[in-house]
Amino acid sequence: MIQLPPTIRTSLGKHLYRDLIRLFPIMQGSQNDFYSKYLEKLTPRNFDRGNFITKVGRLVHEVYFIVKGTVMNFNTRKEFRAGHMINHDCVYKNEM
């Protein structure tokens, strides 16, 4: 397998995740080493309407960046739209 140089991988990642970078201030204006370290860890996922991302009582290890669509928290009835991150507080605090 051919490994791309870090500068090319970073440029490619910034291009592929440009919508996410545009929506989330935490992703904007960072140094290239930040992008090269973290953009590779992102995994794009699509969820069908009605599918659960996580359930109450589960320990979560993933943060979700909503780029398109809406996510509903069925416990609080709160809606999260494009530009929101979910689970970040649970991951940070290592909580359920």
- Cα end-to-end span (Å), the chain: 39
Burial (0-12, 13-18, 19+ Cβ within 10 Å), 39:
buried
| pLDDT recorded at residue 75 | 83
| pLDDT recorded at residue 92 | 64
What mean pLDDT do residues 66-83 have?
A: 90
pLDDT digits (tens, 9 = 90+) for 21-45: 999 888 888 888 888 888 888 888 8
Residue with tokens 């991150």, as numbered in its chain: 85
Classify residue 69 by its DSSP letter: S
- How many angstroms from the chain centroid is the CA of residue 73? 17
| pLDDT recorded at residue 59 | 77
Which contiguous run of DSSP H or E holds residue 64?
strand 64-65
Q: Show the tokens assigned to 30.
A: 């960072």
